[in-house]
Amino acid sequence: MQKLPDISHDFAAWYQEVIYQAELVDSSPVRGTMVIRPYGYAIWEHIKDTLDEKIKKTGHENASFPLFIPESFLKKEAKHVEGFAPELAIVTHAGGKELEEPLVVRPTSETMIHYMFARWIKSWRDLPLKINQWANVVRWELRPRAFLRTTEFFWQEGHTAHETVEQAREEVLLMLGEYVDLAQTYLAIPVITGQKTESERFPGAIETHTFEALMQDGKALQMGTSHLLSQSFAHAFEMQFQNREGQLAYPYLTSWGATTRLIGAVVMVHGDQKGLVIPPRIAPIQVVIVLILFKNKDNSAVIQAGAALERSLQDHGVRVRLDDDMQKSVGARLYYWEVRGVPIRIEIGPRDLEKNQASVTDRIGLKSESVSLDQLPLYVVAHLALIQATLFNRAHERMMSSWHKAAKLAVFGPILEKENGIYQTGWCGSADCERMLKQYKAFTRCLREEKTFDTCFNCDNDSLQDVLVAKAY
């Protein structure tokens, strides 16, 4: 294996290389798509299972809708089709014939699901209707990057319908809160929430709430979004219901999604020069037991101790892997687990065993010490929790120290362009001023409730509220 590129000098190259070396992905023969290898997919399964539980606990049900959407459906909501048209993949032939109406491979399923909602929602008693779908979607990408921006990606898309706009907005914020907990408690990634500006909204939404995180290179990543949709979707699909007053009304709709991009966020927030660092709560392997074995010697005591420890850790709910490889050098084995970011490594050899102990090292440099075998399981459980907390705190400190307040783009723009980071500033609300950010390769990330600045970062008009500005993925 070649050495990883320098993370502080060429973050992009480091990212590309570390995800291949750790076998999260492999390059695919179809441009822009991903082959997610077992280790990468196992991380996704942990994220998916965690989020799926949250979605179900908040009263949503999973369902499944077709991969293909008639082209005419997408055209029913003007802004929606305008937003997605350039990214569509289109099936024109099937079953040996040209199709009468081309089918779009879904870039998102609002139109298809709203078509079905219109059939299912007749009365206020059918509301709220709270559906989620785990699916693959396709958006043709000109500059693909594994996990971050790929032509095919995996996600969940929640779609709900409500009697009132207040209930719909409550749902939008409820699911945003679940996403924030997923990010902070499980991925150990601190996030900032807020509304997107009009130019950054989901096509067809009247409010897009985002949760954003800071990557180690000082760029922001949109981690996921939760939308209050325009009622034009309900109008487009004639989705009417009889309300409590007996009148026909249009429901208020939401949608919200999070994707395989979250894996990229974990890599970019926690990784270091030695490779990945996977937070324990989503780590497919939380602990690796590396047995120190010798050719032509009796290794049975070490092998037995390793197997006993493996069972004991499993009994304590720890996801553990036993490495008894005798083909590779110990150095190569340690490198193998290090680049994969396994939180805790336990080494057991004959000398450790004589003292009834093992050598424990964590991936993030907190501790490296000998621990007696009897105490190991509880030690490991406690230490995994400490690693999880430490990862969050480190990322949080990094985010706070990169979060600057600055009044005028002319001053902070050149600094941002060179040094990255998040800049909180004032904004008049005009798209013309917003566009000025592009000269420094920056974009608005989200609006903030507070108002710290009197005037806009660009013009001399009053600021309406603060806005966060950063370079972004």
Q: Which is nearer to a second copy, 103 or 442 (CB)?
A: 103
Of the listed pieces 22-30, 213-221, 394-402, 408-416, which binds a second copy according to CB under 8 A? 22-30
Q: Work out whether 75 is an interface residue with a second copy (CB under 8 A).
A: no
Q: Which is nearer to a second copy, 87 or 417 (CB)?
A: 87
Question: Residue 55: which H helix or E strand, with range?
Answer: helix 38-57
**Using the rule CB under 8 A, which residue among 20, 41, 124, 403 binds a second copy?**
41
Which single residue is written with the structure tokens 């060179």?
418
Q: Work out whether 136 is an interface residue with a second copy (CB under 8 A).
A: yes
What are 291's two structure tokens?
Answer: 């047995």
Closest approach of a second copy to the CB of residue 433, in Å:
30
Report phi then psi at 238, rounded to 5: 50, 50
Q: How far apart are CA 55 and CA 61, in angstroms?
A: 8
What are 211's two structure tokens?
Answer: 């949760």
Biggest alpha carbon–alpha carbon distance for the chain: 85
Q: Which is nearer to a second copy, 137 or 220 (CB)?
A: 137
Query: What track of x and - describes contact with a second copy for positions 321 through 360 (by CB under 8 A)?
Result: ------x---------------------------------
**Using the rule CB under 8 A, which residue among 26, 53, 238, 397 binds a second copy?**
26
Q: Work out whether 62 is an interface residue with a second copy (CB under 8 A).
A: yes
Q: Work out whether 85 is an interface residue with a second copy (CB under 8 A).
A: yes
Of the listed pieces 34-42, 178-186, 303-311, 402-410, which binds a second copy according to CB under 8 A? 34-42
Q: How far apart are CA 460 and CA 440, in angstroms?
A: 20
DSSP one-letter code for 472: B
CB neighbours of 299 closer than 8 A, spacing ≥ 6? 291, 293
Q: Helix 261-270 and helix 38-57: axis angle, to 10°?
A: 110
Q: Work out whether 30 is an interface residue with a second copy (CB under 8 A).
A: yes
**Strand 220-229 to 344-348 pairing:** unpaired
Closest C-alpha among 384, 376, 441 to residue 413: 441
Please provide the distance, in angstroms rounded to a whole number, between the alpha carbons at the two ends of the chain: 28
**Using the rule CB under 8 A, which residue among 1, 142, 332, 411 binds a second copy?**
142
**Using the rule CB under 8 A, which residue among 14, 154, 427, 440 binds a second copy?**
154
Q: How far apart are CA 22 and CA 261, in angstroms?
A: 17
Is 223 within 8 Å of 265 (Cβ atoms)? yes
Name the 3-class secondary structure at 430. coil
In degrees to the nearest 10, what's the CA dihedral of 401, 407, 412, 413? 130
Of the listed pieces 25-33, 249-257, 309-317, 376-384, which binds a second copy according to CB under 8 A? 25-33
Q: Which is nearer to a second copy, 95 or 331 (CB)?
A: 95
Q: Work out whether 96 is an interface residue with a second copy (CB under 8 A).
A: yes
Binding residue count for a second copy, defined by CB under 8 A = 55
Closest approach of a second copy to the CB of residue 87, in Å:
7
Is 342 within 8 Å of 333 (Cβ atoms)? no
Closest approach of a second copy to the CB of residue 147, in Å:
12
What are 302's two structure tokens?
Answer: 């070490």
- Of 104-133, binders to a second copy (CB under 8 A) are 105, 112, 115-116, 119-120, 125, 131
Closest approach of a second copy to the CB of residue 33, in Å:
4
Strand partners, 291: 348
Q: Which is nearer to a second copy, 87 or 369 (CB)?
A: 87
Closest C-alpha among 381, 406, 422 to residue 280: 381
Q: Work out whether 278 is an interface residue with a second copy (CB under 8 A).
A: no
Residue 75 CA, chain-centre distance (Å), reads: 29
Q: Work out whether 289 is an interface residue with a second copy (CB under 8 A).
A: no
Of the listed pieces 2-10, 42-50, 285-293, 330-338, which binds a second copy according to CB under 8 A? 42-50
Q: How far apart are CA 37 and CA 22, in angstroms?
A: 10
Q: Work out whether 314 is an interface residue with a second copy (CB under 8 A).
A: no
Closest approach of a second copy to the CB of residue 86, in Å:
5
Residue 249 C-beta-side C-alpha neighbours within 13 Å: 19
**Using the rule CB under 8 A, which residue among 7, 34, 187, 318 binds a second copy?**
34
Query: What track of x and - describes contact with a second copy for positions 176 through 205 (by CB under 8 A)?
Result: ------------------------------
Closest C-alpha among 80, 197, 271, 161 to residue 434: 197
Q: Work out whether 91 is an interface residue with a second copy (CB under 8 A).
A: yes
- Where do contacts with a second copy occur on this chain (CB under 8 A)? 26, 28-30, 33-38, 41-42, 44-45, 61-70, 73, 85-96, 102-103, 105, 112, 115-116, 119-120, 125, 131, 135-136, 138, 140, 142, 152, 154, 327
